[in-house]
Chains A and B, each alone.
Chain A
Amino acid sequence: MIISYELLKEILKDSTPPIDELIKKLINIGFEVEDLTNPVNKNVITVKVENIEKIESFNDLFKVNISDNEQVITVVTSWDKLKVGGIYAYAPPQTEILGKIVEARKFGDITSEGMLLSYKELEIKPDFLSAEEREGIMELPSDTPVGKNFYKLFLSAQINLKVPFNRADCYSFLGILREILTAFEISSPTDIKNNINYIYPTFNITKIKRDKAKEDFQGIKIISKDACPFYSCIIVDKIKPDKSPYLLRRLLFSFEIRPINNIVDIANLVMYFYGQPLHTFDYNLISGKEIIVRQGKIGEEINAIDGKTYPLNEEDLVIADNLHPMAIAGIIGGASTEINNSSKAVLIESAYFNPLYINRTSSRLNINTDASARFSRGVDRTRTKELAIMAANLIAFVCKGTIAGEIYQDGTDKFEPKRISFYIPEFKRVTGIDLDRYTATRILNRLEIPFEIKSVDQLTVKVPSFRETDIKEDVDIIEEILRFVGYDKITPKASLSYIKYEYENANFQLQSKLRNILAGLGFYEIVTDTFVEDDLIFRVYGDNIGDFVRIKNPIKTGWSFLSPNKVFQFCDVAAKNLFRKKTDLKLFEIGKHYLKDSEDEFLDIALTGNRNIESWLEKPAKVDFFYGKGIIESLFNRYKLPFKERISIEGRILDPIESVEFYIDNVKIGSFGKVEKKIVDFFGINEEIFYGSIKLSSLLMKYILQSPKYNPTPRTQEVIRDIALVVDEVVKVGDVITKIRALASSSLTNITFFDVYRGKNIPENKKSIALRLTFNFGINLKGEQIQNTLEKIINEVCLTFNATLRR
């Protein structure tokens, strides 16, 4: 909502607050100031063209005599559409225009003393000009005063306010004015609620001609009373659509309204001033001369004034004649009855539409207009008629037309105010601020919210029609009073009474623990987006996307999937960093994987490039499957997870050979492996990427967060034995280790695999695996006792795996 400071000054005169104070106050009562346009202070004068002469010696140039009412000045221009008698903006020499100083220029023996200006040179926003005004030198209304400063005549400081969604009443100049009067405690010339005359004095309206009613008009018929409780209209005859005169044009600038013609411009002005959207129909184009307010029909459509065709259905409300919809009620007009240059009579609509219908249709068709913004929040239903009459008077005055008959109406504009009981001490209970009755009633009075005093600290508030949609219960009244008492009066004070121990959030604790461990291991934590490119999903999963979640309305077309895992995100991050020559990456993220029936939290890791920092002590080595898997194993071992490993069966994102899955009690808890080449290729990565996921399940939480139980540390020494077993190539080292663990039970404190050997002395299809076993028996055993235990284990292992001990 634009507030023109000049307009405000015309109304408030000496009580107008300085602009910076005004802005500060507006913010403090809840209006965000989006923008402030300062008035331009330049010596640009309005002039009248006296005569135009083609200059013979120069092609396409004209000598133009202009007058500022005191002297005649000569300028030279190439613009061939200047009119004798037309009014334009003129910059005399020494004026700065678009950063350049205008100078007198000679064209043969003619001197051009300055220049006539286009909108660009005037530095006016093109959005609020008509197409004609944006072309060449800008022509001003024919009744613009001559010899005056252009900027003072048309433009002033403007404050662009963001009106809160619930404040339907403030989508109008007068609504904001009411707030300003309350905030600054200015005694207003008259109350705003009952006064509609702010716009009149500017025009000095006299002698509106009245005629008898149009005989062919059939009246209004509201069929959908729920959607349209009240509809009124008035007809102005013998109109002449034209450009708006100076006084109107100036107001259009004040509100940043794009000019259309004097009829539509007046309707728009009334809307900006009072908040009531009006619609204007070309009366003669209404078929059957009948206004029917009804729901749309399936299959019906309308060509709107924005040039688009909209399909209608039964949820929509339309204004129709006896044949077709002429407008989508409260949202946009149809092209068929639009006011045009040859319109002879106008029917002005002023109605109250149910906000629900307006919202639903404007959302579905995605049409947002000034009218829909106001109707969807709710207009003041009690003022529809008087504003229709007012617009009719203005149109009749400006177009020299006649008002044909009286106002027509259907439905009811009666409004029964809601009564709210307001217990004054409740204000303190909610805000912590003391409030006396005097302050409360003074603010309500200024806001034109009527009330009755019920007792010393009890009021009954009667919600006025212009606040119907936003004041519903006592807290709304508390907020109204608080806005003007001042939110700055809220002071920090703890009166919180209850206290009770709250337990840690286990999920957060687990995440925090993992985060610190991973960072300690040299990993960088990343946070990635949720969405994945469809193309990629189809490429990797083909038709097997039944478990995945898709968005109906993605922000980027072709990005509709929610990530079922993080491999794509990690590859994307890796690709971007690799491109920047950051080749050694260890990344992790704690976040969700999204599937149809679950959104579970995971720890994801990815690695590529070198595993270590190259130095004179350590040569660089690439990360590989076993390095990465070791990270996950180390984490599991740190918390004594009894995990088992299985061959990976996932087979889409991980390489089928270099991959593994982790289980506890047959429940999968994670996986790790080399990312499929197909995926890596998609991101244009030439490196191997290793990716792993661990589900942050309650199972994992149990092991990681459980309170440790102390076991007495053994006082006896550890016994270390190395063994080498020759086994078939297909035997898995992990299986051998698991078997040994099971056989040795708790006396085996550690087992490591430290070598594999193939070749000399080892038969074909066999391999020798070297293991280091660390025991602590808790008692001191003799050498042969140890040897016996070891041999028992070895014999059993050899039997199970068809192995031989290598001596």
Chain B
Amino acid sequence: MNLEEQIDKIKKEFYSELERVKDISDLEGVRIEYLSRRGKIRTLFSELKNLSEEERKEAGNRLNTLKEEIGQSLERIRSALSKKPEEIKKFELFDFSIPGQNFEIGYIHPLNIINEELYSIFRNLNFKVIDGFEIEDDYHNFEALNIPKWHPARKMQDSFYIDEERLLRTHTSPVQIRAMESLTPPFRIVTVGGRCYRRDAIDATHSPVFHQIEGLVVDENVSLSDLSWTLTEMMRGIFGKGINVRFIPSYFPFVEPGAETLISCPFCMGNGCNICGNSGWIELGGSGMVHPQVFRNVGIDPAKFKGFAFGWGIERLAMIKFGIGDIRLFFENNVDFLRQF
């Protein structure tokens, strides 16, 4: 047994003996055993000389610490034992283990936990956070986004209409359109947690009401590489280090080239598990380079400026992050559910 192990052993022994102490004379016995001239600590000190100078210094420090600790513990017990019997009685009768007065501290909804995280991530990436109206006109929700009337892609986003011209926005993209109409490039903007609506039947992964994060960067020279970088940073912010992003081609009328974005599965770190269907990747949503027609619609010169955009559901991110299998749980507001976040 080396010195270090002996120190640990003595420490353990000391505390177990201390538990058996009932009165002052017991205590004195323990003191003599450990701290007297022939006590255990002294004996160990005498063994220091066999060590090299460096080891001696280190072990000496540790022994001194132990000696102090033992001394203080003995002193605490001594002062408790020397109290009058009625004081001791009071001491024994005070049950510190009774629960104190508890106050219920509330909970933040999981969707807003994600929103707050996203807000801070995009602030750190120097994005301007913007928001807009849920009741939109057909032009800003569809036409300006290169989805003219009777375009088949409108079927992808079945909408709730208020009248001929107004509808509940089907994505947060109209916010970006309005921003592009008023801002002068270059700019970076993002909408966090905007409420959107689609006339989808409700099931475990679809809800007519959902929320989106949508970002847009317009600059003279931005490419899919910048998109990839931005999304990688964002996803690492949400799911942690080591998350990677990849793309597969996908069609959205307002981006070209368009992509579906995938992240390496945060559950198996891309090795394949039942959550990612053994693929190692999880689909998150659309992204791509802003379609030149969209730029023309808002008066930005597509020859001079390029832009990238991405947008997907907060619910999807929350489901992956917290391991929630059913989107309906977010809107049921069962307190047992809410209490878990």
Give A contacts to B, CB under 8 Å.
27-30, 32, 164-167, 355-356, 359-360, 363, 376-377, 428-433, 473, 475-476, 478-479, 482-483, 487-488, 490-505, 507-508, 512, 515-516, 518-531, 549-555, 573, 576-577, 580, 582, 585-588, 590-592, 594, 599, 612-613, 615-618
Contacts and interface: CB of A to CB of B under 8 A. Distances in A.
B208 A555 contact: yes
Interface stretch (B24-32, B70-78, B102-110, B266-274): B102-110
B73 to A, nearest CB: 33
Contact of A524 (B133, B163, B253, B338): B338
A497 B221 contact: yes
Contact of B330 (A166, A360, A521, A527): A527
Contact of B257 (A473, A475, A519): A475
A799 B257 CA distance: 79
Contact of A165 (B116, B160, B195, B251): B251
A490 B247 contact: yes
Contacts of B229: 492-494, 496
Given A359-B150, A359-B151, A526-B333, A502 B338 contact: no
Nearest to A428: B223
B284 interface: no
Interface of B: 98-109, 111-112, 116, 119, 123, 126-131, 133-135, 150-156, 160-163, 168, 186, 188, 192, 195, 197, 199, 201-202, 208-209, 217, 219-232, 245-251, 253, 256-259, 289, 291-292, 306, 330-336, 338-339
A727 B133 CA distance: 51
A549 B160 CA distance: 12
A530 B197 contact: yes
Given A30-B248, A360-B150, A429-B221, A497 B108 contact: no
A590 B211 CA distance: 14
B155 to A, nearest CB: 8
Nearest to B131: A507
B307 to A, nearest CB: 10
A519 B107 contact: yes
Given A29-B249, A508-B119, A473 B292 contact: yes
A513 B288 CA distance: 34
B106 A594 contact: no
A48 to B, nearest CB: 45
Contacts of A29: 249
Contacts, number: 244
Contacts of A494: 226, 229-230
A497 B220 contact: yes
B130 A505 contact: yes
B314 to A, nearest CB: 10
A495 B104 contact: no
Nearest to B256: A475
A432 B226 contact: yes
Contacts of B188: 496, 502
B223 A430 contact: yes
Contacts of A497: 186, 219-221
A490 B331 contact: no
A551 B257 contact: no
A430 B199 contact: no
A495 B108 contact: no
Contacts of A618: 101
A565 to B, nearest CB: 16
Given A167-B251, A377-B152, A493 B333 contact: no
A598 to B, nearest CB: 10
Nearest to A509: B119
Nearest to B246: A488
Given A165-B156, A359-B150, A430 B224 contact: yes
Given A29-B249, A495-B223, A527-B109, A487 B129 contact: no
Contacts of B108: 515-516, 519, 525
Given A549-B135, A599-B135, A502 B123 contact: yes
Given A27-B248, A528-B331, A490 B160 contact: no
Closest 10 pairs between A and B when the two form their complex, measured CB to CB: A432-B225, A30-B249, A164-B251, A519-B106, A479-B257, A492-B229, A505-B129, A432-B223, A359-B150, A526-B333
Contact of B225 (A473, A493, A591): A493
A577 B116 contact: no
A487 B150 contact: no
Nearest to B288: A479
A493 B109 contact: no
- Majority-rule SS of B interface residues: mixed
A500 B168 CA distance: 33
A476 B256 contact: yes
B217 A487 contact: no
Nearest to A553: B161
Given A359-B151, A496-B229, A527-B111, 19 more contacts: A355-B152, A356-B150, A429-B306, A433-B224, A478-B256, A483-B257, A487-B248, A491-B228, A492-B225, A493-B226, A493-B229, A497-B220, A525-B106, A525-B107, A530-B168, A553-B161, A554-B160, A555-B160, A555-B208
Contacts of B334: 576-577, 580
30 contacts: A30-B250, A30-B251, A164-B249, A165-B251, A355-B152, A430-B224, A475-B291, A479-B256, A492-B245, A494-B229, A499-B126, A505-B129, A508-B129, A512-B116, A512-B119, A520-B105, A522-B105, A525-B108, A525-B112, A527-B112, A527-B330, A530-B134, A530-B195, A551-B161, A576-B333, A585-B335, A590-B112, A599-B133, A615-B101, A616-B98
A603 to B, nearest CB: 13
Contacts of A500: 126
Nearest to A572: B333
A577 B335 contact: yes
A582 B334 CA distance: 9
- Between B133, B152, B161, the greatest number of chain A beta carbons within 10 A of the residue's beta carbon is seen for B152
B209 to A, nearest CB: 5
Contacts of B339: 524
A615 B98 CA distance: 11
B126 to A, nearest CB: 6
A298 B154 CA distance: 26
B160 to A, nearest CB: 5
A576 B328 CA distance: 14
Contacts of B103: 522, 612-613
A493 B223 CA distance: 9
- Between A165, A482, A616, the greatest number of chain B beta carbons within 10 A of the residue's beta carbon is seen for A165
B246 A487 contact: yes
A515 B109 CA distance: 10
B257 A592 contact: no
Contact of B201 (A493, A555, A585): A555
A505 B118 CA distance: 13
Contacts of A612: 103
Contacts of A492: 225, 228-229, 231-232, 245
A498 B186 contact: yes
B224 to A, nearest CB: 5
Contacts of A507: 131
A160 B292 CA distance: 32
A613 B104 contact: yes
A37 B338 CA distance: 41
A592 B195 contact: yes
Contacts of A585: 335
Nearest to A615: B101
B163 A552 contact: yes
Contacts of B119: 505, 508, 512
- Between B119, B225, B331, the greatest number of chain A beta carbons within 10 A of the residue's beta carbon is seen for B225
A368 B253 CA distance: 21
Contacts of A615: 99, 101-102
A478 B257 contact: yes
Contact of B128 (A30, A502, A587, A594): A502
Contacts of A525: 106-109, 112, 338
Nearest to A589: B109
A223 B160 CA distance: 36
A169 to B, nearest CB: 13
A167 to B, nearest CB: 7
